[in-house]
Amino acid sequence: MTASVAAIDLGATSGRVMLGHVGHNELSVRPVARFPNTPVRTIDGLHWNILELYRNVVAGLNAAVREDPSIASVAVDSWAVDYALMRGGRMLGTPYHYRDDRNIAAVEETHAIVSPEELYAANGLQFLSFNTLYQLAADREAGMLDLADGFLLIPDLINYWLTGRQVAEQTNASTTGLLSVATGDWDHALIGRLGLPRAVLPELVSPGTVLGPLLPSVDVTSNMMVTTVGSHDTASAVVAVPATDPDFAYISCGTWGLVGVELDSPVLTPQSRAANFTNEGGVDGRVRFLHNVMGLWILSESVRDWQRTDPTVELPGLLAAASALTTPVSVFNADDPTFQAPGEMPARIAEWCRDHGVRAPRSPVEFVRSIIESLAVAFVDAVHTASELSGKTVSVIHIVGGGSQNELLCQLVADRSGMPVLAGPVEATAIGNVLVQARAHSLVDGSLESLRSLVATAFSPRRYEPRS
């Protein structure tokens, strides 16, 4: 039996609606709609243009139905941590972007109540200043939580608009800092200590939960059901890692580089907290033990900066020239928080180099090579640290997502790690989304390993061997 499902995959810079055709020995995906995800800055900060995203989602679903009227299911995944506050089923304002700086004061206020050590023991998450619990603390100080009776993460908000059901999918909820790493449920004791309202938190559901049909207000003529998946995009991407060897590490590489290993239980040692490693929920109760590296954001922001003064600048040409570069370039710390904010990225890289006594790149080509070299170092360091902290042997590295197309990056990771790198699939997140839906509707069955075997057959990865 084969059937079609639709995957709504919302990334931090773009979104897409993918049509997946899946069965026992069949798996394919193709895009039916792509659209930008461009934040909006207003007088009160940086926001997501969530209504435009939803409009594009509905238009993409209509395009998918035109191609295949028999779609059985649709599911949403997106970036993590951001949310909308709700009252009476309506949004209380446009969701803030995680790169907004409103959380800075909230971090100190939160740590004055619960220490970083206590937080890590409770939720197992690495420290990121934009984690949901800090954003909620900022909302508390602004008085917004006094008005709210609900709270929905981005994919849960889209699901609510599609079905009318307010729930929180578990893998994405695990990134809020409000779930107990021990039980996987809302940590009401921690939530109470932080002075956050327990009543706003929705019911938790697992990936593979069928939420129901589309509402008439969606204006899509279809009998498709809305299903939850690993709604944190990395959770879906890890499902689609085409691993045939259990001793693998993964790099889900796009705007961010999520680097880690898959475990059966969390790692909560002082060493893992000091290394800023996180324990996030995965599909089938797996633990994604990983570290967030700044990722290709640094490269895309640099290109955007150059294009402001020279619109002819294009990334493919820069990458080709950077690959051919034979002179050495400096390596900077791609994990430094100074690279988190948008704008003027080359200037901030040059300033970091000057501050640390190393030669700053002098041309766009040198900048690109320096960025790729620095990302490779950060990725490989994170792989080694994940292995050491977890005790998991790693013999191969899988790179999935957009970064798997970057040949220079893949080769440098292989060279620096001394391990083979298997690159692809590019659309890993959408593929993982499709597979979890398909399993929920009995189109496929089996463990994650079975699903990954299907991916490995359908999307043969490109292999990079380390050069001596």
Q: Could you read off the pLDDT of 265-298 as tens digits, one per residue?
A: 999 999 999 999 999 999 999 999 999 998 999 9
Euclidean distance between CA atoms 190 and 196, whole angstroms: 9
pLDDT level of residue 241 (50, 70, 90 thresholds):
very high
Integer-rounded Cα Rg, in Å, for the chain is 21
- Going by C-beta distance under 8 Å and a sequence separation of 6 or more, which residues neighbour residue 121? 268
* All structural domains of the chain with their residue ranges: 2-233, 243-424
**Taking residues 60-81, what's their average pLDDT?**
97
User: What pLDDT is stored for residue 287 in this prediction?
Assistant: 98
How does pLDDT run across 340-378, given as a tens digit for each residue?
A: 888 899 999 999 999 999 999 999 999 999 999 999 999
Topology match between the domains 2-233 and 243-424:
yes
CATH for the stretch 2-233: 3.30.420.40
Q: Are 468 and 52 in contact (CB under 8 A)?
A: no
Which of 70, 55, 57, 69 shows the shortest CA–CA distance to 18? 57
Give SS3 for 227.
strand
Percentage of residues of the chain with pLDDT beyond 70? 100
- The question of whether 284 is a catalytic residue gets the answer no
Q: Which two tokens stand for residue 133?
A: 């619990």
User: What pLDDT is stored for residue 468 in this prediction?
Assistant: 73
Q: How do 257-263 and 278-281 pair as beta strands?
A: unpaired
Euclidean distance between CA atoms 78 and 169, whole angstroms: 12
For residue 440, pLDDT over 90 is answered with: yes
Euclidean distance between CA atoms 212 and 159, whole angstroms: 10
Give me the catalytic one of 233, 305, 335, 381. Answer: 233
User: What pLDDT is stored for residue 103 in this prediction?
Assistant: 86
DSSP string, 37-71: ---EEETTEEE--HHHHHHHHHHHHHHHHHH-TT-
Q: Of 3.30.420.40, 3.30.2010.20, 3.40.50.300, 3.40.50.720, which CATH number belongs to 243-424?
A: 3.30.420.40
User: What pLDDT is stored for residue 232 in this prediction?
Assistant: 97
CA-to-CA dists, residue 415 to 252, 380, 426, angstroms? 18, 10, 21
CA-to-CA dists, residue 370 to 56, 78, 320, 376, 412, angstroms? 36, 29, 14, 10, 12
Scan for tokens 């580089």, then name that residue.
Answer: 257
User: What pLDDT is stored for residue 24 in this prediction?
Assistant: 79
